Amino acid sequence: MNDIQEPYLMLSSPAFTEGQHIPEKYTCDGENVSPLLQIGDIPEGTESLALILEDPDAPHGTFTHWLIWDMPPIHTIMEGEKLGTEGKNDFGQMGYGGPCPPNGTHRYYFRLYALSQKLNLPENTSKEELLKAIEPVKLAKAELMGKYNR
Name the amino acid, one letter, at 68.
I
How many angstroms separate the CA atoms of 110 and 41, rounded?
17
Instruction: State the CB neighbour count (10 A cutoff) for residue 149.
Output: 11
In a domain, 39, yes or no: yes
CA neighbours closer than 13 Å in the CB half-sphere of residue 106:
24
| pTM confidence score | 0.94
Ordered mean pLDDT values, 10 residues apiece, the chain (150 residues): 66 98 98 98 98 97 98 97 94 96 96 98 95 98 98
CATH of the domain at 144: 3.90.280.10
Beta strands in 84-128 (DSSP E): 85-86, 105-115
- Domain range for 112 is 10-149
Q: Report the DSSP beta bridge partners of residue 143.
A: 111
138-149 vs 85-86, strand pairing mode: unpaired
Do residues 37 and 76 touch, judged by C-beta distance below 8 A? yes
Q: Report pLDDT for 5.
A: 56
Please report whether residue 5 resides in a domain.
Answer: no
Per the domain annotation, does 33 fall within a domain?
Answer: yes
On whether residue 3 sits in a domain, the answer given is no
CA distance 50 to 85: 9
Question: Tens digit of pLDDT for each residue in 74-103?
Answer: 999 999 998 999 999 999 999 999 999 998
What total of structural domains would you count in the chain? Answer: 1
What percentage of the chain reaches a pLDDT higher than 90? 92
